[in-house]
Structure 1
């Protein structure tokens, strides 16, 4: 009996520290993640990093409370360091690599939620950034999940929010002077309200000349709509000016007059319905994710300013500031509820 009591007393510090550490980690897990199920991967990342740091600290505390000699304790710490080093060394084929890549992307911030990015054959708007992967919404409204390791090991093209170049390429015959084509293509780009349009001769082929017309689009969120409008405008200006958009090797089995041209019978610009925004349908999740993130950042900034004002206020002014703070917090709660609704909507 006495020996049992001695053993219990011997390991009592270890049991006490382990119980406290485990209880503390469970509480922090609930405070940081458990009570906020509406948080997306983007908002969970800093909380998960804090929880990971607390776990490492807790492990060190348990290690120091082991009822062993200093030599054995140092060996345990050294073994832990070797294991962590080995884990990092082999991270290229494990989830740890994606975790480290997520931290790198978080620090460098090559793109944000709502940005248009292209990675090899994948193109779309960033709808969510997580600890291990990044989600983009494609032009077909599909959700594509890309591992963070994939993003840092390949070139990522990011469309600048200050503007994007919209272009179209087409081939025309040598029988039309390039100056005429250049003026027509520039007028097509101007009809789409593209800034600083320009035309390039890309290739002199055996049968045709390849042209590219480009212009600056300031509102990058309307890339799909503007590209389609540019194609339509090119058809209108060329057909209305009597220019055939057809390959020189074009063969038609119908009998045509020598002076006949392959142009639609009614080359009149048809009215285009631009009231419907294609991007709002295709990139709806990415658009709402960007709006939510922007609104949260603005509200948090305002709350921080109000908290600073609250410390120096008194009386009626203090009451007004407290009311405004409560209003801002309610707005944050509403945004969290909207994000939860979106999350449920997109569940597979």
Structure 2
């Protein structure tokens, strides 16, 4: 728990992200006090986060807060908090499917959930979007086993598989899979698809922005003209999605699509919304999949959908991310019938973190 000497913390990698995991009871109940503490723990604001746990990138400046669920439908509640790097903000306006991968193991490590003798299943309420994910992972002898033979692109080495099955992700932040009521819209002079299968996202053809879609994250980030144009598209699309003014929010995300080049289904470059993801997030991948499968959407004609039913392989800057996603027409709407992914996680350290003194 929080003391004058520090705060109990478990630092973990979840999927292709990394963050600080806390029990809710170890943090202040008041959100303003909690957020101030987390900024000092992570070393924000500072582009290097030199005086805290943050890794100088949005993918490594994340926090998970976990508590036992009060009801019977789920086992634990998971609140995701994105902490700014060079800007002092803490926001709960989005979810994180990568940190989600380590929530089940964390719940066992902290004694919230008893471990099974072979495997353990944890039902997780994702508080940010009030949706549910079920995590299943290996616990031989009643202990979490992080070792295994599954490799995921964007993470060196191999680790134990963690199965994630999602419920209620479609429209979880905006109210509908296609929140504008249309599969495509015209925004900023180009055709876009606004979609939300757990992560509000604006899909665009890279070619419509004069790009190949194979550019590196670094090259995309230094293109100031592109950044300004994307910022305008994001603001306009967010209003169409019913999200209002998102100038201080991290959603919706922006994803550039191009034809696959390495045997996948579709190629992506994902904006966070300013920095470019070195891979793609779990819920971002499920959202891209749902959006591209729908006929008439941006990316549908670019995608190789020949393997749909067995896998949806999303190409990203450091490899592939395979998800299991299925979408079916239901009258004038679209219904998501399956959203699942396989990730890995690892416990990095367990101990006490000492926050920076107040500036």
* TM-score > 0.5, shorter chain as reference: no
Higher RCO by CA contacts (8 Å cutoff, separation 6 or greater) = 2
Calculate the TM-score normalised by the size of structure 1. Answer: 0.19
Higher helix share: 1
More strand as a share of residues: 2
